[in-house]
Amino acid sequence: MSESAVQIIAHGSRDATEARVAAWDADPLLEGVTYSILEEDEDRGIWRIDAFPTTDAEVERLVTSLKGDTALSTTVEDLADADWLAMSLSGLPPVRAGRFFVYGAHDQGRVPQNTVNLKIDAGAAFGTGHHGTTVGCLMAFDDLLKRERFERVLDVGAGTGVLAIAAAKTGSRVAVGTDIDAPSVRIANENAALNQAKASFVHASGLSDRKVRRHGPYDLVFANILAPPLVALAQDIKEALQLEGVAILSGLLRTQERRVTAAYLSRGFVLERRIRRDAWSALVLRRKG
């Protein structure tokens, strides 16, 4: 861990900020860094990156990459000793994505009666349901549910488990999530119990893990991770799906759509839909071959 917690903030145009985070996504030394990208000033076309490195090596790598980027203005701020996760979650509004309503404990009294309600406690895991990538996945899933049902669902990189829990609460008989982070698996299982959802989460490093394969082939695979692992897992996701099965992929920027889509089209998938939210994309692909 870094000796002191820092937040790295960069401002610039949309093209400049997206290019910078795309470079971070391609850097294996930064694969564990948490960051967000959003439009801060629509009138002036100003976008903002907030990065939260957890080691001194990550701080140095990020700062070095930004020093040479004249298109961005950068500041590094020390974070006081506080429970920033709890503080940030307390200010997050609930999210509506089609039939799904994602909320935290602080919004218990604002839950509608006619929605599929998902109460999510992030704890130390990634994925409150507020991020554009998760919302895109839920919107894509909501649209698919208008026409078909999915008996067996796999959520790759489940984080807090929101996507597998959404599947379990809309009729999926099998809803399995995997994550390489053991605390995330624990938190996801706690969230499943909190929502009285028949979803289970396992600690697994890949789709070939026995705990994952024994429930397949799947009708639907969620993979809300990052663009490089989405490309690397294209063949594994194909093999995890039955013919005519659907993959909902996210965690990628709009600028990364072509690269990710190409990896799946070359393996017999057909692109059915893309959903864009802020700078992020979600892709719906169906296995045809």
Q: What is the pLDDT of residues 25-34, one digit of tens each?
A: 888 888 767 7
Tokens describing residue 255: 């600028």
CB 49 within 8 A of CB 21: yes
pLDDT tens by residue, 121-155? 755 434 444 456 788 899 999 999 999 999 999 99
Tokens describing residue 240: 């995890």
- Per-residue exposure over 248-271, b if at least 16 CB sit within 10 Å of its own CB, e if not: bbbbbbebbbeebbebbeebebee
CB 97 within 8 A of CB 138: yes
Give me the tens of pLDDT residue by residue for the chain, a chain 289 residues long.
344 577 889 999 989 998 898 888 888 888 767 777 777 777 788 898 888 787 888 889 999 999 888 899 998 887 654 444 444 444 456 788 889 998 876 666 677 888 998 988 755 434 444 456 788 899 999 999 999 999 999 999 988 899 999 999 999 999 999 988 888 888 899 999 999 999 999 998 788 888 899 999 999 999 998 888 999 999 999 999 999 999 999 988 888 899 999 999 999 999 999 998 777 889 999 999 7
Residues 165, 188: Cα–Cα separation, whole Å: 9
Nearest-Å Rg of the Cα atoms of the chain is 19
Q: Are strands 116-119 and 100-103 parallel, antiparallel or unpaired?
A: parallel
Please tell me the pTM assigned to this model: 0.70
Q: Are strands 34-41 and 46-52 parallel, antiparallel or unpaired?
A: antiparallel
